[in-house]
A and B are shown apart, each in its own frame.
Chain A
Amino acid sequence: MPSNTALIWLMASLFLAALPHFYYQPSWVSLLFLLMLVWRGLAIRQHWPLPGRHHRTLSMVQWLIALIALGLMMNSYGNLIGRDAGTALLIVMLGLKVVEIRNHRDYYISCFLGYFLVVTNFLYSQSIPTALLMFIVIILMTSCLISLNDVKQTLSKISQLKLASKLLLQAIPLMILLFVLFPRISGPIWGLPQDAHIAQTGISNTMTLGKISELIQSDAVAFRVKFDGEIPANNALYWRGPVLWQTDGTQWHELTLSQQARHSPPVITASNEAVKYTVTLEPHNAHWLFALDLPNLFSKDLTTRLSHDATLLSDNPVKSRVQYQLSSSTDFVMAADNDPHVKAALVLPNGLHPRTRALAEQWRQKANSAESLIQMALNHFNQAPFYYTLTPPALSGDVVDRFLFESRQGFCEHYAASFTTLMRAAGIPTRIVTGYQGGELNPVDNYWVVRQRDAHAWTEVWLAGRGWLRIDPTAAVSRERIDRGMSDILPRTSLAPFLFTQSDQLIDIWQNIKHNWDAVNNAWNRSILAYGPELQKSFLSALGMADPNWQRMAMALLLAFSVILLVTSALLLIPRRETDPIVATYHRFCRRLAKLGLSSRLSYEGPLDFANRAAKAFPEYQLEISQITALYISLRYDKTMSSLSDFKHAVKCFKPKLK
């Protein structure tokens, strides 16, 4: 039976291991787990019996709880496999196990399940704070194992924790070795359940007026970019995402596969020098990859293609952080001669937007060309009292009409949608492009960071001979948004939490901290979290391993492991050198006598006895032997009598030779 202290510490470390799950799991899972911990805690305090053979009622209660949990789980998840359901099952099982721990076996199993619980945390978050918390959990859990083996409780908890930390720290070299050299396999080994990836925030392939505004509040990183050369001006940084064609008046959609007349990319002619860059995209569980408008050279890392409307697509949804190299031209001509989809870019829902249609008709009669019509629309946005605001009033009914003629307050998506409606009504093919605009440079690691709040929507119109032209109606209303980026548009106080908004200096400090933290996170993501089969190969090649394959890695691992093993055994087994100079000097004296053939000092032999024996064996050195021994004894037992240097000198001069 494990001791109560060991049990309480186990419960504490399990609690810590399950703590992040309280956020991810339904509340009944957490409640059940806590309830079980409390049950066991009270059982310890009040000396309650444990459920088991002798207490059938308690066993029944436990079974009942297990059944209820099973029912709730089936209700919540529909099955018991998969990440969420599996984790819930593990947590509930652990709770039930804790209640009935009665012997060492149960305790060990709970500890090991606790280790496993730590891994399930990583399936939800691999951030640095999670990693640190989990390292603490591992130390705690290991100290639990130690306390279990410390039957007589001779070690204090502090020394148990110290020993556990020592174990963990000493294990790090081998861990790094394994991490670098263990041949990696690209998962999944078996099919991943649907819930393997959390619903990610980000741009979606539908736009409902009012939707992007949620993103604008989000400081989360959408992707990071490393430019090879100079960074283009902010107003050229349009990161192209899904293109929206169809509308029902409030919602905008992509063209479905069957509606596409052609699946191959449009004809593109680049007219300026390409910009080369590498994107590290956070997972968003969709197919599109964001690229600087417009990519012309694709990375070979991913199987990618360009869609009919020039969006870069990956063959598989982006479920984990990916990196791809691209080159883009910011000045280009797209589908100048014809595009089979032009008709789709003219469709408007029947009978909607009467006032918008009327305005468009009015403009069409005035304008002599499509270009001037577009200019009239942009002028309208610029001169009429339109406001760029991130918190527009809610709209209902005919959203476009309401926006254009009543509220006139909105942000990119309102302007893009109403502009597109106006243009289509006037007979100019127009589509909405969603994506991100701008971003900001992190001065710490020189990565260009694009956050969710940089989400943007703009439009493209098609003019015969000139192809699809980018028109950003938002720029007509708010130039700063496009020229300087989102962080300048947002009030400065929104860039820092409340405590830091008191002065400009504090905000700068906060920004500085944020940049540093972001750079650390970026390095963490790129070097540790991204370390998979690909990165492993390139890293090992860079280290000098020719053509790394798993056999070579295994060989290297074996070799390095042997070296580490040798070093650890040497450290553990070679006795420490004597640190006390007096003892060390005396040992030197003994060794000199041993060289003459005197058997070494026995464990029970005091220095005086040893000196007598030595003097008997070598009468010619009797004087030196007794002198040195006397010095040693006075140094050890009567420090005031003689100096260490005298003693050292005497031993140094003592060089006995056999005559």
Chain B
Amino acid sequence: MNAISQLYRRFNNLRGRRVFILPTRFGVLYGGFLILILLAAINYNNSLGHILCFLLASMGQLTIHYTYRNLAKLELVSASSEPCFLGEVIPFTLRFDNPTQYDCYHLNIASKQSNDRSWNPLKNVTGFRYQPHQTRDVLPANQISSHRITVASTQRGLQAIGQIRLSTQFPVGLFDTWTYFTPDCVAVVYPAPAGHLPLPTTIDDGQQDIGAQQQGNDDFAGLQAYREGESAHAIAWKALARDDILRTKQFSSQHSGQIHLSWLATTSLPDTEARLSQLCRWLIDAENQGFEYSLNLPQLDIEKGHGHQHQQRCLTALALYD
């Protein structure tokens, strides 16, 4: 029993993933032309006509294998995403492994776009629910290659990439072959920045003079030993190459002050999404204008700070608010 199941597993490995294949409309047309050729050959008792018809038929048959082979052994290695604001497209990066000896040409990578069903079952399987052909990439033989696809963001929060449909008609376009992947990959969608409320006024706690020197990223102010959590952008690579000590470049910037962005400051807005959008707008403005800012949401407080990482932390908090 064990031997049989092992054999079955080996066969399954050999077969590769589940790949579907159907003739395209040109494949059907090709079949029609073959029938015409056969009729002409029979009618005129034409031997070479028969040969031509049979040759084209077996070439057509062969292209089934060729087309199928494009996808049979492909494997998804990894998928990653970058956050985006609602309304923008989410960039996903998929990495595929083509372990075969053959290059795989003209791969269409599409993600599921809707759940509509059509009365025509053929239409359902040939992927009309997937966004139109996005990329026509080549997967070189024996290599892992990255491919970017974009998916429209639909909702604030976490958005899974969903099902990915890979299809190709190479080499002759008579058959369309496709397969599905469902990568375990989720993107964070920030609320869309919106709202016209003015940025809350700065808090002056008296400890710091306006215009005091603060760490920022405008003007170079010297090097300092690396502390965990500092951005990789700030590392002084040249200095590192010189003496193997990890240091970060320090910049000074003119801070206009601190502001506190609070959930309660947006009570005048009609609903949660609008309030989140307003907060998002403020976060961006505050960062751009060089403020230090803190964020307060119900059940969540983020200490004051600034910089890319801080901004992302705050935006993620907005994205995940429920």
Question: Residues on A close to B: CB < 8 A?
Answer: 83, 104-105, 108-109, 112, 115-116, 118-120, 122-123, 126, 130-131, 134, 138, 142, 145-146, 148-152, 154-155, 163, 167-168, 170-175, 178-179, 182, 184-190, 192, 196, 320, 528-532, 568-569, 572-576, 603
Contacts and interface: CB of A to CB of B under 8 A. Distances in A.
Nearest to B172: A145
Contacts of A575: 100
A576 B69 CA distance: 14
User: Which of B49, B51, B63, B69 has the most chain A CB within a 10 Å cutoff?
Assistant: B51
A12 B16 CA distance: 40
A116 B172 contact: no
A104 B40 CA distance: 26
Which 3 residue pairs across A and B have the least CB separation, nearest first?
A174-B58, A178-B54, A171-B58
Interface stretch (B30-38, B221-229, B285-293, B306-314): B30-38
B144 to A, nearest CB: 8
A150 B63 CA distance: 15
Contacts of A168: 55, 59
B62 A179 contact: no
Given A122-B48, A146-B172, A573-B72, A568 B65 contact: yes
Contacts of A167: 59, 62-63, 66, 171-172
A520 to B, nearest CB: 16
B43 A182 contact: no
B41 interface: yes
B48 A529 contact: yes
Contacts of A186: 45
A119 B49 contact: yes
Nearest to B138: A154
B201 to A, nearest CB: 53
Interface in B58-76: 58-59, 61-63, 65-66, 68-69, 72
A509 B236 CA distance: 86
Contact of A178 (B37, B58, B100): B58
Contacts of B14: 573-574
B18 interface: no
A118 B59 CA distance: 16
B61 A174 contact: yes
B43 A190 contact: yes
B47 A134 contact: no
A603 B172 contact: no
A321 to B, nearest CB: 10
Contacts of A109: 29
A189 to B, nearest CB: 5
A178 B54 CA distance: 6
Contacts of B63: 167
Contact of A150 (B43, B51, B62, B105): B105
Nearest to A182: B54
Interface string B143-177: 00000000000000000000000000111111000
Contacts of A188: 42-45
A571 to B, nearest CB: 9
B52 interface: yes
Contacts of B43: 187-190, 192
A134 B53 CA distance: 12
B50 interface: yes
B55 A192 contact: no
A151 B106 contact: yes
A188 B46 CA distance: 10
Do most interface residues of chain B lie in helix, strand or loop, or is the interface mixed?
helix
B82 to A, nearest CB: 23
A8 B66 CA distance: 26
A192 B55 CA distance: 25
Interface string B198-209: 000000000000
B98 to A, nearest CB: 12
Contacts of B265: none
B138 A189 contact: no
Contacts of B16: 573
B170 A115 contact: no
B136 A151 contact: yes
* Residue of B30, B44, B97, B169 ringed by the most chain A CB atoms within 10 A: B44
A150 B170 contact: yes
A152 B66 contact: no
B15 interface: yes
A142 B172 contact: yes
A568 B56 contact: no
Nearest to A191: B43
Q: Which of B36, B42, B59, B68 has the most CB of A within 10 A?
A: B59
B105 A179 contact: no
B39 A189 contact: yes
Given A119-B37, A142-B59, A151-B136, 8 more contacts: A119-B41, A131-B48, A149-B106, A155-B105, A171-B59, A175-B54, A188-B44, A190-B43
A171 B29 contact: no
B58 A163 contact: no
B13 to A, nearest CB: 10
Given A112-B33, A118-B52, A174-B61, A126 B47 contact: yes
A260 B49 CA distance: 43
Given A112-B30, A116-B33, A126-B48, A171 B62 contact: yes
A568 B62 CA distance: 8
Given A115-B33, A529-B48, A179 B54 contact: yes
Nearest to A149: B173
Contacts of A192: 43-44
A576 B141 CA distance: 13
A184 B47 CA distance: 10
B55 A171 contact: yes
Contact of B106 (A150, A178, A179): A150
A146 B172 CA distance: 5
Given A151-B136, A189-B43, A175 B58 contact: yes
A149 B69 contact: no
24 contacts: A108-B173, A116-B33, A119-B40, A122-B48, A123-B44, A123-B49, A130-B48, A145-B172, A154-B105, A167-B59, A167-B63, A171-B61, A171-B62, A172-B55, A175-B55, A175-B58, A178-B54, A178-B58, A182-B54, A188-B43, A189-B42, A528-B51, A568-B62, A573-B69
Nearest to B77: A603
Given A115-B56, A149-B173, A603-B97, A122 B46 contact: yes
Interface string B81-114: 0000000000000000100110001100000000
Contacts of A126: 46-48
B220 interface: no
B22 interface: no
Nearest to A163: B171
A163 B51 CA distance: 21
A118 B41 CA distance: 12
Nearest to A178: B54
B36 to A, nearest CB: 7
Contacts of B170: 149-150
Contacts of A155: 105
Contacts of A182: 50, 54
Nearest to B45: A187
Contacts of A108: 26, 29, 173
Nearest to A576: B101
A134 B46 CA distance: 15
Contact of B136 (A148, A152, A170, A178): A152
Contacts of B101: 576
B185 interface: no
A528 B55 CA distance: 14
B57 interface: yes
A576 B51 CA distance: 32
B47 A528 contact: yes
A485 to B, nearest CB: 32
A155 B172 CA distance: 13
B44 A187 contact: yes
